[in-house]
A and B are shown apart, each in its own frame.
Chain A
């Protein structure tokens, strides 16, 4: 203590006060680091979501055009494309030559329109009213993604095409609709007709198959390892070796599981490539260690005093474990399992290995039909440079994220329910 006259009586020495200042400063710095890292990660996540939403949200709507086609008898050839082009030319009142036809056909989803024409083949000669999606380039134009002020050589629509599209818009023939096709159509070569049906169904089947296999086996294995496996002697050594290997399995890169699936399920058992059954089997292997580890941790967290009490009351080991350990561990086991399923849903590499990267234009009806999966579809679509494909890839990402959020939400609700029931 100093005896300087101006110094107030203090509860601590000067040295201690000074040290306290340093401790405070350290704490303040740590708080700042913490806040900075939280802000940084939130910003990164926000930027990611924003950029995906900015490109992808527009894919949930699509422009359709009402066409009153005068399909005249004299232009009726076997060639639907040509009939369509002629009718479009008639609508705009232009003379149809090959170049004009080409440009006209690029305005609408030609394949959708010719399909519709073919369906109405017997009505040729009359005026035909068709409502079809516009082509991907026209759609991008209507969504404001084509800069008409740029020189024509730098855009995919000619001045003439833009004039035609404007005319449709002026005559209110164009309507922006919810893009149902994104959910009900399988993949297609034309972006405006491409949908996620095959991918969504494929993913659902894969995850259901993987879950149906990995959940009971994984949870059962965890319960066995926790409560029943031998702990001493050679049996105990085996148990520990098993546990170490399950932990190692969880660290094996996913693509290796794909190779395993290829070698075992496709080459040895002769299952087909590209089918959800094989995908589900492979991802079941992938999920298994995650589920075992999560369930083991959940079971270990239950105090032994509960099972000991039950045993001392004359419960068998089975009763002690299933009456007192499993119910308490259930919420955490469930959460771990659902996280495993969510991981499986986002898994891409092993599916590429077993050929689920194929171009599938049919909606799968069973796990034995070729299908893709959502992450693989994203991979496929994001490989194309056109704006329409980029838009759809982002839309597929949004769908995948939404599904994951729903799954996690369900996990949280289930966990809360179980926990509330446990605490009566």
Chain B
């Protein structure tokens, strides 16, 4: 691949095991910064497992084990002196099903900055909350009801709220695990437009089961199959001219 953008993550020989079973096998991948990278593949192929490698959320799963080397900006994020808590302050994550905290909209967004002491004053915190909600494209809809309980928002709004929540800690990277799977087409379109906007600032890695979505929004696409990275290329090239027969079968809908 010919790249003009700097590499954000580089993984070498990354494997993920759950107990005795292997979910991801010797993956080598270089993910460029300020870019949208899509992970596609049939369900159970290890997309989520790979995504969780980048913010060490696999550490949270009690029987999960990650081996290999993963560097972010050249720094080994699995080195013993790296605190996953600090790593996660720089790598935000949006889950498949939005899980807003059962608190107010404001409190949801303010939680991260409070954790990390990002805002010394109330005014600064207000500003951070507003900026994050604006970036997530939610500000205009909630600015008059910041104190309403977040679970009362629509699912599409909730998904943008949790996006705003992770933007509030000022990360470099945003990981998204099938963020549109519980959204209707209109909310999905909004989210995709938002991703398009955000990629100028952030490195975005998105898992999606929709090839159309991957084709629409991503610059690079990785195709995984049975825990292996089959092909990783510029999206256009991967979809028009796949190098591997399995990729071709998958994108033409022959399996998965």
- A residues bordering B, Cβ < 8 Å? 230-232, 236, 303, 305-306, 308-316, 319, 323-324, 328, 422-424
Q: Is the CB of A314 within 8 A of B101?
A: no
Contact partner of A311 (CB less than 8 A), chosen from B60, B86, B103, B104, is B60
- Residues from chain A with Cβ under 8 Å of B95 in the complex: 305, 308-309, 312
Do A424 and B115 have beta carbons less than 8 Å apart? no
Residue pair B166, A313 in contact (C-beta under 8 Å): yes
Please, which residues of chain A bring their CB within 8 A of the CB of B112?
313-314
Would A312 and B149 be within 8 Å (CB), given that A231-B62, A231-B63, A328-B102 are in contact? Answer: no
| Separation of A230 and B62 alpha carbons in the complex (Å) | 8
B169 within 8 A of A: yes
Name the distance in Å between B128's Cβ and chain A's nearest Cβ. 13
Residues of B contacting A423 with CB < 8 Å? Answer: 102, 149
Closest A-chain residue to B148, C-beta based? Answer: A424
Q: Is the Cβ of B99 less than 8 Å from the Cβ of A303?
A: yes
Residue from B99, B103, B147 whose CB has the most chain A CB atoms within 10 Å: B99
CB pair A424 B97 closer than 8 Å = no
Report the bound CA distance from A319 to B85 in whole Å. 11
Smallest distance from the beta carbon of B53 to chain A beta carbons, Å? Answer: 13
By the criterion CB–CB under 8 Å, are A313 and B111 in contact? Answer: yes
Q: A232-B62, A313-B166, A315-B115 given as contacts; is B57 within 8 A of A308 (CB)?
A: yes
Residue among A232, A312, A324 with most chain B CB within 10 A: A312
Chain A residues touching B, majority SS: helix
Contact of A324 among B86, B101, B162 (CB under 8 A): B101
By beta carbon, the residue of chain A nearest B86 is A314
From B93, B115, B149, residue with most partner A Cβ within 10 Å: B115
Residues in A with CB closer than 8 Å to B60 are 308, 311
Q: Which residues of B contact A313 (CB under 8 A)?
A: 88-89, 92, 111-112, 115, 165-166, 169
- Which of A306, A309, A313, A328 counts the most chain B CB atoms within 10 A? A313
Q: Given that A424-B147, A424-B149 are known contacts, is A314 also in contact with B102, CB under 8 Å in the complex?
A: no
Task: Report which residue of A230, A305, A422 has the largest number of chain B beta carbons within 10 angstroms of its beta carbon.
Answer: A305
Give the number of chain B interface residues (Cβ < 8 Å). Answer: 30
User: In the complex, which of the residues A303, A314, A324, A424 contacts B88, with contact meaning CB atoms closer than 8 Å?
Assistant: A314
Name the contact of A312 in the complex, choosing from B19, B88, B97, B102 (C-beta under 8 A).
Answer: B88
Q: What is the chain B residue whose CB lies nearest that of A320?
A: B60
CB interface residues, B 80-133, toward A, < 8 Å? 85-86, 88-89, 92-93, 95, 97, 99, 101-104, 111-112, 115-116
Instruction: Give CA–CA (A313, B171) in the complex, Å.
Output: 9
A236–B103 alpha-carbon span in the complex (Å) = 33
Closest B residue to A306 by CB, please name it.
B99
The minimal Cβ–Cβ distance linking B243 to chain A, given in whole angstroms, is 34
Cα distance, A50 to B73, chains bound together (Å):
78
Please tell me if the beta carbons of B85 and A314 are within 8 angstroms of each other in the complex. yes
What 1/0 mask marks residues of chain B from 136 to 153 whose CB sits below 8 Å from any chain A CB? 000000000001110000
- Set of chain A residues within 8 Å of B111, measured between Cβ atoms: 310, 313, 323
With A231-B62, A309-B99 as known contacts, state yes or no: A314 contacts B104, CB within 8 Å: no
Q: Which of B13-68 contact A (CB under 8 A)?
A: 19, 55, 57, 60, 62-63
Interface centre among B63, B102, B116 (most CB of A within 10 A): B102
Q: Which of A232, A308, A319, A422 contacts B115 (CB 8 A)?
A: A319
CA distance A308 to B96 in the complex (A): 12
Q: Are B93 and A312 in contact (CB under 8 A)?
A: yes
Instruction: Determine how close the nearest CB of chain A comes to the CB of B24; give it in whole angstroms.
Output: 18
Closest Cβ–Cβ distance, residue B98 to chain A (whole Å): 9
Closest 8 CB pairs of A and B: A305-B99, A231-B62, A314-B89, A312-B93, A314-B88, A313-B112, A309-B99, A232-B63
